[in-house]
Structure 1
Amino acid sequence: MDDDNNKKKRSGNGFHHHHHHHPQQVIRVWFVRLCTSILVWTGIIQLTTVIQPHLLHAWPTSTSTSSCLDRPRLDLLINNNYSNTLPPSRIYKSNGYLKVSCNGGLNQMRAAICDMVTVARYLNLTLVIPELDKTSFWADPREETFHHLPDHKAVPRQCKYNIICIFICSDFKDIFNVKYFISSLRDEVRIVKSLPKKLSRKSHTALFSMPPVSWSNDKYYLKQILPLFRKHKLIHFNKTDARLANNGIPDELQRLRCRVNYKALRFTPQIEALGSKLISILQKNGFFVVIHLRYEMDMLAFSGCTHGCSADETNELTRMRYAYPWWKEKEIVSEKKRLDGLCPLTPEETALVLEALGIARDTRIYIASGEIYGGERRLSALRAAYPKIVRKEMLLDQDDLRPFQNHSTQMAALDYMVSIASDVFIPTYDGNMAKVVEGHRRYLGFRKTISLDRRELVELLDLYQNNTLSWAEFTDGVRHVHEIRMGQPNRRKVIPEHPKEEDYFYANPQECLTPLVPESEHTFL
């Protein structure tokens, strides 16, 4: 609108005449031409970036500033640019109260919150602020937590310490901005902090509790769940992970899932402030890459992935898995899982892959993860290849971090903010954080996310390490595999009979993104 008004003013001031030019008018003409040229070339560059495949060579270095041009503004990342004006409240007759207990880590719970808001809106329910995971075995930060296990003495002390440090739980209000969450969605759904007294008493005595069926569509909730609300008025969903389908959901509901995820779910002011500080420190030094290095003790123990571990470490991880009766999969053949692409890359493998992708040695690399199993010893190869490796603990003062330490979900929130702000994001395992961050980066303009094909990579790594492939052949293979795995626009892979094997909605929320590829290009895989 401002440009249109300026054009009208210019034509009214006689810019179309060819004589009696005032010097100020000449300067204005040249200024307009300069601005127009910049806008045109910016548009061409952006279109070229979207249309052409991202090349894997010619990464910027840590001293480059070119990447700063297409970075999302910090206020976009933390939603500060949105108006403080509240939307009008939606008036509707509530069909009952929905109480939910989210299970899992930060990003699994984040996706679940988006799903539960969407279900509440669709069924005209009143949603109670979600409870975050408090039933997890790891939630209790005390040594005594382990004593109810039949074989608790088999759990190594160091293992107990690591789990306690990693898995201390937080409430919704400790992670997310409650006031903003409620007010920003008031035009869609009524959200309350607690139940009315009458229902609160019922929740302690006769609460109807159930897990919705996984990967359900809107028809399931309308036909199976809504009648239950009419009967009970209050229902508790005790599991919320993957309870809404990836596909076959009306577009308006899919867009609401996005709105909750990218607009309504803001971190607390304290987390946003410290996350912004971290991002500023990293961005002022130029181009930086985030590696989500999922090589923590819990991951290795429960996946059974022990490639690169010593015999003692393998025994320790195995004892940990067997000590937990609720973990069903006990007998695991580590090497088979690895060859199937079901294990996270080791730090040593990660170093080789980054080099093969052409990421320069002087690139600043931020490690987003908990404590790496094996500590600095296991990071030595990665650090030798990339000396500018940093973590939040290295960039922030201890006084800044102290309020967040021993609160794994809050620490994960800081890593989440840095991950969506990075120039490149590379997860070494496709867990919930990897998927949710990938989707958020797509939403911010298809920012580069390299989804590693671990099955192909393991084969290439083994061939290189046994000298079957030269370095040049290994590099060519790695780059070829990942040309179409860099966060470009594409459509989700749909497998109706096996929803767990589909592309995850929150990794590629295509209904909320533009541009989309043509229907004929349904999937790159």
Structure 2
Amino acid sequence: MLGLRKGVIGFLGFMFLVFSYNILNNGPLQIRSQAGQVQSSTSTQIKLWGVPFRPLEPCWTEPSRKSNRKEWGYVLVRCSQGPHHHRFQIADAVIVARQLGATLVIPIVKEGLTELASNFDDLYTVKHFIATLEGVVRIMGRLPEDLRGLNHTSIQVPYRITKPYIDQNIRPIFEKSTVIVLDDFLPSMEDVEEEQDVEMEAIRCLIKYKALMFQSQIEKLGNRLNNRMKEAAQRAGGKYVAVDYRSTDTACEEERDVVHTKSKRCLSPRALGLLLQSHGFARETAIYLTQTRLDESFDPLLNLFPNVITKEYSMPFNEESQFLYSGRTQLELAIDFYICSHSDVLVPIHSNTFYTAVAGERIKLGLPHILVPSLVTRPKQATETTLLLGVSQMVAAKTHPAYSCLCEHGMSERLAKEPTSPASS
């Protein structure tokens, strides 16, 4: 009996020690665990959604505005391939007209080889465009009546045209023709040293980040679709991902997960889903895809991410006929440009002009979180590469041209271009 009593007393004493240890240690242990969870959660959120930045403001050198300059002759420009190309095409047209001392006619927007041209004011606010360029170049709505209907000389020009090129190749034609049409834009001249002309760069900044403003209907529709995406993303805190998935490369039609061509990387819908999943995006993540609609080939993506949304799904019924079924691809591209510029994250599958132009707009708006697919070689497996998402090099190292045009309030251009963190892939 005495032995039993001692055993009970010993057991109770042991339990008291255990209880005391828990009382003394449970609080700090729980706090450390919670702190670890918070830290992990915060780093994951930054990895997925980035951190907010303040919108940037113009800090380029203002181009001289010569109100008493004498103009002679006219320059027309036919823009094509969407708003992401228009910025570069119109900037070059303004530079050509200014260098020649000519009047710029309001641009024409080409829909395609078999489609009708659109009016400039179908996409952009004309009054804002003219007011922004007042004194930089003279602008007219259309050619004088006696020059309409004639066959005018069409000229091919390279992107990022230079003054010497204009004087040597375009001026002789212009002086004979009076009216020239910039109708075909070629790749930039790789064998010509980049001309560092402050005034020309200022004009390019002015066009890309101020002069071209979408007309009110596109702005309102884009804002409405952006809000719809945020509503669809409520389970992810109202944040969504925009993926530019479009490609005209026939190699992308091959039935393989990843296809590498000379200039592009193509991903199957399944590979896209696996790539987003490997980066940590949850199944319920809302994804805007730059497709008009989805067919059965996207089922593997929908199995991984069922909350994939397209223009057809998100657009109000009464505006579908105007924007989706009118055959005017420029309007669809304008909506894609707007949504990809305002999403919480952009994932551009292809490194192209759309990516460059949208990245500039996002930098201006303070939304620089862009995740770009890149091939990474494992240290211990030199022969194997993995496709991962990494922060855009143009943003991380601040090498995007936007950083030469835009700064934080009160910040100089030099400080604006200093990297804030080590460059990523």
TM-score normalised by the chain length of structure 2: 0.72
- Which of 317, 339, 363 does residue 398 from structure 1 map onto? 317
The 5 A counterparts of 1:134-149 are: 136-139=112-115
Amino acid across the alignment from 2:371:
I
Contact 2:391 2:424 in 1 (8 A): no
Matching residue of 2:253: 306
Worse-superposed segment, 272-281 or 115-124: 115-124
Question: Equivalents in 2 of 1:111, 1:370: separation in Å?
Answer: 25
- Which of 374, 384, 402 does residue 303 from structure 2 map onto? 384
> How far off is 1:194 after superposition?
0.5
Question: Structure 2: any 5+ residue segments left out of the alignment?
Answer: 1-41, 59-63, 408-415
Matching residue of 1:133: 110
Contact 2:347 2:372 in 1 (8 A): yes
Matching residue of 1:28: none
**C-alpha RMSD over aligned residues:** 3.7
Matching residue of 1:412: 333
Amino acid across the alignment from 1:228:
I
TM-score normalised by the chain length of structure 1: 0.59
> How far off is 1:128 after superposition?
0.7
Pair 1:425–1:104, CA change in 2 (3 A): same
Question: Structure 1: any 5+ residue segments left out of the alignment?
Answer: 1-54, 80-86, 141-168, 310-333, 492-506
Q: Is 1:179 matched up with 2:127?
A: yes
Matching residue of 2:67: 90
Question: Equivalents in 2 of 1:89, 1:273: separation in Å?
Answer: 35
Question: Equivalents in 1 of 2:76, 2:254: separation in Å?
Answer: 42
Contact 1:110 1:261 in 2 (8 A): yes
Matching residue of 2:398: 490
Question: Equivalents in 2 of 1:341, 1:510: separation in Å?
Answer: 25
Amino acid across the alignment from 1:218:
K
Matching residue of 2:222: 275
> How far off is 1:56 after superposition?
7.9
The 3-state SS of whatever aligns with 1:429 is: coil
Pair 1:383–1:485, CA change in 2 (3 A): farther
The structure whose residues are more often strand, as a share, is: 2
Matching residue of 2:29: none
CA deviation profile, 1:300-319 (whole Å, cap 9, x unmatched): 4xx3333327xxxxxxxxxx
Q: Is 1:432 matched up with 2:342?
A: no
> How far off is 1:173 after superposition?
2.2
Amino acid across the alignment from 1:58:
Q
> How far off is 1:368 after superposition?
1.9
CA deviation profile, 1:7-58 (whole Å, cap 9, x unmatched): xxxxxxxxxxxxxxxxxxxxxxxxxxxxxxxxxxxxxxxxxxxxxxxx9843
The 3-state SS of whatever aligns with 2:395 is: coil
Contact 2:65 2:134 in 1 (8 A): yes
Contact 1:99 1:236 in 2 (8 A): yes
> How far off is 1:89 after superposition?
7.9
Pair 1:345–1:100, CA change in 2 (3 A): same
Q: Is 1:100 matched up with 2:77?
A: yes
Question: Equivalents in 2 of 1:241, 1:129: separation in Å?
Answer: 21
Amino acid across the alignment from 1:478:
L
The 3-state SS of whatever aligns with 2:94 is: helix
The 3-state SS of whatever aligns with 1:127 is: strand
Matching residue of 1:200: 148
CA deviation profile, 1:60-99 (whole Å, cap 9, x unmatched): 88xx9x96x64769xx9xx9xxxxxxx9983311142101
Contact 1:293 1:347 in 2 (8 A): no
Question: Equivalents in 1 of 2:265, 2:47: separation in Å?
Answer: 30
Amino acid across the alignment from 1:257:
R
> How far off is 1:367 after superposition?
1.1
Amino acid across the alignment from 1:131:
I
Matching residue of 2:17: none
> How far off is 1:512 after superposition?
1.0
Matching residue of 2:3: none
CA deviation profile, 1:284-324 (whole Å, cap 9, x unmatched): 541111011125xxx24xx3333327xxxxxxxxxxxxxxx
Amino acid across the alignment from 2:398:
N
Question: Equivalents in 2 of 1:508, 1:361: separation in Å?
Answer: 35
Amino acid across the alignment from 1:488:
A
- Which of 475, 494, 511 does residue 404 from structure 2 map onto? 511
How many residues are paired up?
Answer: 357
Q: Is 1:111 matched up with 2:56?
A: no
Contact 2:92 2:159 in 1 (8 A): no
